[in-house]
Amino acid sequence: MPHPRTLVVGAGIVGLAVARELQRTRPDDEVVVLDKEPQVGAHQTSHNSGVVHAGVYYPPGSLKARLCRRGVGLLREYARERGIPYDEVGKVVVAVDRADEQRLVEVERRAAANGVPDVVRLGPDGLRDLEPHVRGRAALHSPTTAITDFPAVARALADDVTTGEGRILLGHEVVAIRPLRSGVEVLVEHAGERTRLTADRLVLCGGLHVDRLARMAGGDPDPRIVPFRGEYHLLAPERRDLVRGLVYPVPDPTLPFLGVHLTRRVDGSVDVGPNAVLATAREGYRRRDLVVPDLLETLTWPGMRPVAARHWRTGTAEVLGSVSARRFADAARRYVPELRDADLLPGGAGVRAQAVGRDGSLVDDFVIERLGPVTAVRNAPSPAATSSLAIAEEVVGRLGR
């Protein structure tokens, strides 16, 4: 009798974690990972801040809160087992004005409800003791918030999958999905040739393209993935001592994204950013990147009209910040007044796969959808990398036999 086969689409950190979890819990199954790129972790896994989130911000009871808290412990243990850098540099969430102070109360409540350890409230002097160059009226300190090398984690997961006799087929793009009476058929293109693969189960972890994959499998077009580019600057090497750990703003619930913050990386560099600019391609890491079908798909989605109506002022400011290093520096100076325009060097960029509902809602929580033999991770924004091993447990636990 043939072994059950599970195909996983997406060789980012979530897809690879799912494949590894399948091998751990279903050792008799055949596991095959498909990805259109020539290497693992090509997109969101390799274009993020490297922060291991402790779970401070997320609504208690949400999948984000639960899987982030579970994922932190799993990731910490995994990184140490595999010799991957993992440094608990700590994070301060800084209130710079009275409105921030009022919102900080809710952040503190969520941190306590989510069981984030050792979070303490600081006044201006306590903040200065931790971050001598940071100024604020108050702050929350999360000492267990950490940084790691997520691309290295992805490579280690890939090694686990192949060592466990799973296969990772890179350069293999899924172009069609057809559910069968028993199982699923996937049409894959590789080097100009198309091949049909059949499986008992299919797991979609396609990140920036997961909505398209889900539609191929008969899923609802709602929500649609809308790409937002997040651009970073770097602190000049001689000015990295302005920040010891991670300096974050208090989230504003009326705005769709967090805003500019300062994050130290495991290599010692310090990122300043990101902003959030509508990307004109799903993989639009540069301003000049344009894929017309991607842009049309974004602009014709009914949910984009209410999003634009609600956030056009913020969007305009983000675009201006994208082309002006001074405006970027101004945003960072709210927290680090000593920062000068000349301290910022050009950095990289990432693209966030933001799920937008037909009604214009920005889907915040993780969304895992079951479509018969197909399971789709329909929304996995930050803290998905932190939560990846826990998301894998959740996904595999929902598959059934």
Residue 316 scores a pLDDT above 80: no
Asked if 353 and 368 sit in the same domain, the reply is no
Residue 128 scores a pLDDT above 50: yes
For the chain, the helix, strand and coil percentages under 3-state DSSP, each to the nearest 5: 35, 30, 35
Last residue of a domain, one of 116, 143, 170: 143
pLDDT tens figures, 328-370: 899 999 999 999 999 999 999 999 999 999 999 999 999 999 9
The confidence score (pLDDT) of residue 254 equals 73
Give the range of the structural domain holding residue 387, as residue numbers without chain letter: 5-46+151-223+364-398
Q: Give just the sign of the alpha carbon dihedral 14, 258, 80, 70.
A: negative
Asked if 321 and 392 sit in the same domain, the reply is no
Asked if 209 and 354 sit in the same domain, the reply is no
Asked if the structure places residue 292 within a domain, the reply is: yes
Asked if 165 and 16 sit in the same domain, the reply is yes
* Token duo for residue 166: 């799973």
Residue 51 host element (H or E): strand 51-52
Question: In Å, how far are 109, 201, 246, 356 from 106, measured between CA atoms?
Answer: 5, 41, 20, 25
Asked if the structure places residue 53 within a domain, the reply is: no
Asked if the structure places residue 16 within a domain, the reply is: yes
Last residue of a domain, one of 143, 164, 180: 143
Asked if the structure places residue 134 within a domain, the reply is: yes
Asked if the structure places residue 54 within a domain, the reply is: no
- Per DSSP bridges, beta strands 201-204 and 374-379 are parallel
> Which CATH number is 299's domain given?
3.30.9
* Nearest of 215, 206, 222 to residue 355 by alpha carbon: 222
Please name the residue ranges forming H helices in 115-268: 124-130, 150-163, 210-216
The whole-angstrom separation of Cα 71 and Cα 48 is 17
Asked if 201 and 213 sit in the same domain, the reply is yes
Asked if the structure places residue 377 within a domain, the reply is: yes
The confidence score (pLDDT) of residue 1 equals 40
The residue-averaged pLDDT of 64-88 equals 98
Asked if the structure places residue 67 within a domain, the reply is: no
What is the chain's mean pLDDT, rounded?
A: 94
Q: Which residue has the tokens 């931790």?
A: 130
Structural domains counted in the chain: 3
Residue 319 scores a pLDDT above 70: no
The confidence score (pLDDT) of residue 2 equals 61
* Token duo for residue 154: 């992805």
> Which CATH number is 214's domain given?
3.50.50.60
The confidence score (pLDDT) of residue 320 equals 59
Look up the pTM and report it. 0.96
pLDDT tens figures, 233-265: 999 999 999 999 999 999 988 776 788 999 999
Residue 231 scores a pLDDT above 80: yes
List Cβ neighbours of 109 (8 Å cut-off, separation of 6 or more). Answer: none
Last residue of a domain, one of 124, 143, 162: 143
Asked if the structure places residue 86 within a domain, the reply is: no
The confidence score (pLDDT) of residue 400 equals 73
Please name the residue ranges forming H helices in 146-278: 150-163, 210-216
Q: Which residue has the tokens 């690879």?
A: 16
Question: In Å, how far are 41, 143, 221, 270 from 232, measured between CA atoms?
Answer: 19, 24, 31, 10
